[in-house]
A and B are shown apart, each in its own frame.
Chain A
Amino acid sequence: DADVTQTPRNRITKTGKRIMLECSQTKGHDRMYWYRQDPGLGLRLIYYSFDVKDINKGEISDGYSVSRQAQAKFSLSLESAIPNQTALYFCATSEDTNTGELFFGEGSRLTVL
């Protein structure tokens, strides 16, 4: 089945380290997103990309960067991780419409010590 795959699924790192979370999809969707989930705070958009040459900031982009290497790949980087970036991160894709269903990956749990 076509899917959205995230790596790593779990990562523990130290303050100041650079971290990259990777996302790949076989759904053939142009649109890709990175969300952050914290208990009691819901899902918050970090960055999104509508095609390979398009990158847009979401509501909480500070401290993060992204790269859209190909239609199927969208990576999220934390240049210098800090403890309040400890969270569950989800990649998602959707078809080319603003009201398209979001298809989430399984999530990447990041702990920054």
Chain B
Amino acid sequence: GENVEQHPSTLSVQEGDSAVIKCTYSDSASNYFPWYKQELGKRPQLIIDIRSNVGEKKDQRIAVTLNKTAKHFSLHITETQPEDSAVYFCAAMMSGGSNYKLTFGKGTLLTVNP
């Protein structure tokens, strides 16, 4: 089955700096890669996703890049703000087929220091 490795497990940055979280996946058939953000005591929420037919996607201060050859994808947050502090989860799945197989990474705790 799919295995998703996420690094680092914790990340601390100064406000205004950039943050990068990296994930690798094992199944070359995976073609959908979402990122979820979970603030302390809250539910996870989708912040951005990317499909394997594109290499990069941006939404304001966040971007995701995908390298299918190397089987890794990354979340980039620029000009970090204290409200970016949260746990971030990457995930991977193969969107075709009859079985649902969205596999999450173990999460990265991002702390943005004012």
Do A40 and B9 have beta carbons less than 8 Å apart?
A: yes
- Chain A residues closer than 8 Å to B93, beta-carbon distance: 98-99
Number of A-B contacts (CB under 8 A): 52
Interface size class of B (residues with CB under 8 A): 20 to 34
Query: Are A42 and B45 within 8 A (Cβ)?
Result: no
Question: B22 to chain A: closest CB distance in Å?
Answer: 15
A34 proximal to B (CB < 8 A): no
User: Taking chain B's interface residues, is the majority helix, strand, or loop, or is none over half, making it mixed?
Assistant: loop
Interface of B toward A, CB cutoff 8 Å: 1, 6, 9, 32, 34, 36, 42-46, 49, 51, 89, 93, 95-97, 99-100, 102, 104-107
Seen from chain A, the residues whose Cβ lies within 8 Å of a Cβ on chain B are 40-45, 48, 50, 56, 59, 90, 97-99, 101-102, 104-107
